[in-house]
Structure 1
Amino acid sequence: MSTQPIQRATEVPFSRYEPEAVRPTCLMCSPRLYDVNYVINPWMAGNVHGSSRARAAEQWQCLYDAVSSVAEVVLVEPQPGSPDMVFTANAGLERNGIVALSSFFHPERQGEERHFRRWFLQAGYTVIDIPRSTPFEGEGDALFAIDGSRLWAGHGPRTTAASHRALREAWRVDVTPLHLIDPRFYHLDTCFAPLADGSAMYFPEAFDRVSVERIEAFYQADKRIALAEEDAVRFAANAISVGSTIILNEISRELKRRLEARGFRVIEVQLGEFLKAGGAAKCLVMRLSKPRVGVRN
């Protein structure tokens, strides 16, 4: 846990982020083998084999097209027996060519690790292993502040606080723990999103009191976008933020108006088939530094 006082987010003109100097790279995985095969979060309950693969493919393609408009997209091949590989944000956490590979809490997802390891190594990344004894679920539970000054690291249902030490050592970055207390928001990226203008969307009820205080100590009042439950359960915080563009599941008109008033271009993509497994836009995309070795799109 960080022992340093939490400093305010750095004030940076929004124009700095639009457009980004270099198009970011994002990792995605085709939903060709996607299904809800088991129950490891509350959203999956009642949805086992209840997702339409055809509709999922259509929705994923719409997301792929939206992400491709603002970023380079590279693909990892889906593998039999790993229906959740489509949620690439859970594969690990990457920065500056280093990947902290996920060590999944649930056995149902542990088979994905070898496939992602192989892809990252072939793409030229340095891979760091997180011990099985300290589960860690990648970008799902770890998000860098937009200015890179700290790493927000969730812990609770799927990631242990003990895993944060490895993250701190990997990047020599200040790690700020956030404790998740609502099982519906089992990953940090389901209820917290740093945005490119230096603000953040979050659902306060997903966190304990100390964690809310940490968020609000870092983000000034005018930089905080607290979500109502109706948008939180639509996974509004599970958003992809690139420059002045935000890509996310369908949200309320009020939240869309608030984001547009801040200067964002809001792209809504219907992702209902993936919500049945407890994921939306951000879950389906992992942000990367550019691979060192060419990989197939």
Structure 2
Amino acid sequence: MSVQKVANAAKIYKKVMMVPPVHFDVIHKGLNAHMKLSEPVDRIKALKQWETLRTTFNNLGLETEICRPVPGLVDMVFSANSAIVLDNKALIAKMNAHPRREESEHFARWFRERGFDVEELEKIGKAYTFCEGNAEFSPTHDLSSFFFGFGQRTAESAYEPILDFFDLNKSDVLKVRLVDERFYHLDVCLAPLALGHVIFYPGAFDEVSVKRINDAVGSRDKAIELTLEEGLQFSCNCVSFISNEGDAVVVASKFSHRLRNILEELGYKCVEVNYDQFLLSGGSVRCSVVDIALQRDQ
């Protein structure tokens, strides 16, 4: 990787927005295949796990901004679903998950108060157009291209409004179809990493999409296929960036020995943070952040 690309990567993932899990609970049935209504959430433990994650990010050089949680909106902690944010523009999500739709007005207000150019998918998309934010829109390490996931809780019809709002070309944004209900968002089955690699679980996608992913990465040694077990451990639901010390880090709730060895051999520092309370709702580390400082070179 060139010095310039490392510098670019270091600038990309340096600020995220998070929501404290003050009101977090698992009360909605069937929003994804992993939700466990039978096991109560330990809110004190959940808050400690979230605070540990935020502290880990801050210590590594990833800045975090906070959006205040709203009583009754138990899933707001999963801020990845709030919006897609690029070039100081925020496209507010239109949730397919009906119990979460009220979140959007609060997130829209947060972005407007901070000077973002805000649009709501609800207003520019078709009636059946849903997209659950950053969870379905993943940039490559240098912002040269993006992955757009659809087929579970995001509609393919969101593709065109996203392109229009962010002034992107079709060649910039690669559509990938999710076909396994256990992998309900792109960010639970694919993650671009800070040095140009991509980890993904191929069984989550149709064959055409797997080919697109491999082609986009450019070489087979940079496309790292996970096993089903690793996929179900939410290993893809990670955050990867260049730390202030210059390390390429990957922060996740779980790494298998195999995956850890692969990533460490490629030059990554693997940081594991226990996040088991949020797994009760089918969410993990990446679900808890939305990138707010992605800026393409002008």
User: Do the two structures share a fold, i.e. TM-score over 0.5?
Assistant: yes
1:146 paired with 2:150, answer no
| Structure 1 length-normalised TM | 0.89
The residue that corresponds to 2:44 in the other structure is: 54
The CA distance in 2 between the partners of 1:223 and 1:19, in whole Å, is: 16
**Aligned partner of residue 173 in structure 2, secondary structure:** strand
**Aligned partner of residue 16 in structure 2, secondary structure:** strand
1:184 paired with 2:182, answer yes
The CA distance in 2 between the partners of 1:100 and 1:255, in whole Å, is: 34
CA gap of 1:41–1:23, structure 2 versus 1, over 3 A, is: closer
The CA distance in 2 between the partners of 1:169 and 1:242, in whole Å, is: 28
**Aligned partner of residue 128 in structure 1, secondary structure:** strand
Residue 230 of structure 1: CA displacement? 1.6
5+ residue gaps, structure 1, are 1-10, 291-297
1:133 paired with 2:128, answer yes
Residue 172 of structure 1: CA displacement? 2.4
1:156 aligns with one of 151, 158, 164: 151
Give aligned-pair identity as a percent.
Answer: 30
The residue that corresponds to 2:89 in the other structure is: 98
The residue that corresponds to 2:207 in the other structure is: 209
What are the Cα deviations for residues 10-51 of structure 1, in whole angstroms up to 9, with x where unaligned?
x6469715982587111011011100011211111x425622
**Aligned partner of residue 55 in structure 1, secondary structure:** helix
The residue that corresponds to 1:277 in the other structure is: 281
How many residue pairs get aligned? The number is 280
The CA distance in 2 between the partners of 1:224 and 1:179, in whole Å, is: 17
Q: Report matched runs for 1:73-112 at 5 Å.
A: 73-112=64-103
The residue that corresponds to 2:220 in the other structure is: 221
Root-mean-square deviation over aligned CA pairs: 1.9
The residue that corresponds to 2:245 in the other structure is: none
CA gap of 1:19–1:216, structure 2 versus 1, over 3 A, is: closer
The CA distance in 2 between the partners of 1:23 and 1:259, in whole Å, is: 19
**Aligned partner of residue 233 in structure 2, secondary structure:** coil
Residue 229 of structure 1: CA displacement? 1.4
| Structure 2 length-normalised TM | 0.89
The CA distance in 2 between the partners of 1:222 and 1:13, in whole Å, is: 20
* Partner amino acid, structure 1, of 2:89: I
CA gap of 1:60–1:210, structure 2 versus 1, over 3 A, is: same
Moved over 3 A (4+): 11-15
The residue that corresponds to 2:237 in the other structure is: 238
* Partner amino acid, structure 2, of 1:171: F
**Aligned partner of residue 83 in structure 1, secondary structure:** coil
1:25 paired with 2:23, answer no
